[in-house]
Structure 1
Amino acid sequence: MSLTLEFDGAVATLTIDRPDKRNAMSFQMWSALPGLLDKVEADDALRVLVVRGTTHFSAGADISEFTTLRREPDDARRYNAAVHAGERAIATLTKPVIAAVTGVCVGGGCEIAVACDIRIAADDARFGITPAKLGIVYNAVSTKRLVDVVGPAWASQLLLSADLVDAATALRIGLVNELHPAADVFARATALAATIASRSQVSVRGSKKIISRITEGLHDEDEAVHALYEDSVNSDDYAEGVAAFLDKRSPQF
């Protein structure tokens, strides 16, 4: 299948492992993503997911399948549905997701990275979203997420030109959070994941929900938001956090 899911304490790592194709995503791989993400969602011991490639993050969808699995319009619609479901599985995971990006991060690979909450990248990585080279209209949900991340002007440049940008540009436009030497990217991503895993999960997941609501245009403090507040102040995490602060020690969540 060329996707592996591994666990180390509270951190799960999903690896795109198809180096002979620069980790291009096949239809089978896209189709497998929801099931793999369901495993992460269902395991209460897992608190953070890191998504990585091997040498490269991902060169996108496997173009060789376009003449077979995407030859006819109905086939293309089925393929696009699998891509969308895979991207949504990452973007809607209730637990934080960190992309550890090295090498090329293009097309569907960039779509996966943008679906993550945080992107840690190599200082020589390259990024691009290239449907304009293929006669494809980029999915509206993924386009919105790209606009949320980099703004409409840079989303326009990336989508309309289909040009690749370097890591320094990706950092400047907000496409990535941090840059590091390629050899250090996964270590930094897993260290950040461990830090997030050590924090109050009531706070982490509540914050992720509110951030998601804001990007969806929901800015009011409605009953759902008030419920998050209420759950937090009645949680064991809140009691531990206050006690640890008063005792001048690190909290154990």
Structure 2
Amino acid sequence: MVEEIRVERRDNVAHVVLNRPSVRNAVTLAMWRELADIFLGFASDRDVRGVILRGSAKDFSVGADISEFERIREDHHQAAAYEVAVDACSGAIASLGKPVIAAITGYCLGGGCHLALACDFRFADRNATIGIPAAKLSIVYGVNSVQRLLALTGLSNAKRILYSADRFEAEQAIRMGLIDELHDNAVASAEKFVQRLSANAPLSIAGAKFMLNGLIMGNGAMDLVIAQRLVDEASDSKDFREGREAFVQKRAPRFLGE
């Protein structure tokens, strides 16, 4: 049986690969749930210092597998349960205290864009096409994803993306804020970037990510007690002492995340 999601380890970087190339990596309800479990598992895996989310073959993902909607999303009760699973997935990605990069090739539409928005960075091939066709399906995008979209693109672009349901070529998408960087090989560039970030202090990255994500999600989204705890833990950490000593000794620090 073909794995619909593959996890590949390359040194300290985990590649999470959407693996349904015959349907351009459309995401099923079961996959949303499995992705959430995978990213939650990375939180306690000290060997993983960064994650790359990508698709197999030519595309990142054309989004949710609409072919199963008649069975699993027939009314607002089922739709609410479906959105719970989707939000749990994007929440697990966004809350992981490690860098996560979406390496986008080909189509990144709807639910695929939802996944990419939850990542810290979006690196794309020059042939990438991005869009959110919810308005063509009479679907209202979930609050958390709209908030992430708004934070990245600004109000006018977010409205254009959601109202029009258009597909945007890579050059336009980067101007709108949907993409951070364009590359000839997004996967290779993402891996190189994650490797560079992995040399930095894990506690610093986790603390910064928690605060920045909390701040962009609006008032009350960030737990200030947890934020202060993260500050204090980093201040008392062995890595903080290692960083100071490495700076004085003019050498590269060896961070362990403790």
Which bracket does the TM-score occupy, shorter chain normalised? Answer: over 0.9
For residues 235 and 164 of structure 1, do their structure 2 counterparts lie closer, same or farther at Cα, with a shift above 3 Å needed? same
The structural deviation recorded for 1:237 is 1.5
Distance in 1 between residues matched to 2:180 and 2:233, nearest whole Å: 30
Letter in 2 for 1:43: D
For residues 23 and 244 of structure 1, do their structure 2 counterparts lie closer, same or farther at Cα, with a shift above 3 Å needed? same
The structural deviation recorded for 1:210 is 1.8
1:60 matched to 2:53? The reply is no
Match of 1:169 in 2: 172
Query: RMSD of the alignment, in Å?
Result: 2.0
Match of 1:188 in 2: 189
The structural deviation recorded for 1:224 is 4.6
The structural deviation recorded for 1:241 is 1.4
| Aligned partner (choices 26, 29, 51) of residue 49 of structure 1 | 51
1:77 matched to 2:80? The reply is yes
Match of 1:159 in 2: 162
Question: Equivalent residue of 2:9, what SS?
Answer: strand
Question: Equivalent residue of 1:198, what SS?
Answer: coil
Letter in 2 for 1:105: C
Letter in 1 for 2:107: V
The structural deviation recorded for 1:228 is 3.4
How far does the alpha carbon of each residue in 1:170-203 deviate from its partner, in whole angstroms, 9 at most, with x for none? 111221111001xx21111111111111111121
Gaps of 5+ in 2: none
Match of 2:242 in 1: 240
Distance in 1 between residues matched to 2:213 and 2:42, nearest whole Å: 19
**How high is the sequence identity, in percent, across the aligned residues?**
38
For residues 92 and 227 of structure 1, do their structure 2 counterparts lie closer, same or farther at Cα, with a shift above 3 Å needed? closer
Distance in 1 between residues matched to 2:230 and 2:146, nearest whole Å: 29
Match of 1:198 in 2: 199
Distance in 2 between residues matched to 1:216 and 1:81, nearest whole Å: 17
Distance in 2 between residues matched to 1:29 and 1:175, nearest whole Å: 23
Distance in 1 between residues matched to 2:219 and 2:229, nearest whole Å: 15
Match of 1:133 in 2: 136
Question: Equivalent residue of 1:42, what SS?
Answer: coil
Match of 2:13 in 1: 11
Question: Equivalent residue of 1:205, what SS?
Answer: helix
The structural deviation recorded for 1:151 is 0.9
Gaps of 5+ in 1: none
| Aligned partner (choices 99, 102, 121) of residue 96 of structure 1 | 99
Q: Which moved more, 1:76-85 or 1:160-169?
A: 76-85
Q: TM-score, normalised by structure 2?
A: 0.91
| Aligned partner (choices 29, 33, 36) of residue 35 of structure 2 | 33
Q: TM-score, normalised by structure 1?
A: 0.92
- Ranges of 4+ aligned residues in structure 1 off by more than 6 Å: none
The structural deviation recorded for 1:247 is 1.4
For residues 67 and 224 of structure 1, do their structure 2 counterparts lie closer, same or farther at Cα, with a shift above 3 Å needed? closer
Distance in 2 between residues matched to 1:209 and 1:72, nearest whole Å: 35
Figure out how many residues of one structure are paired with residues of the other and give that number. Answer: 251
Match of 2:217 in 1: 216
Distance in 2 between residues matched to 1:221 and 1:41, nearest whole Å: 18
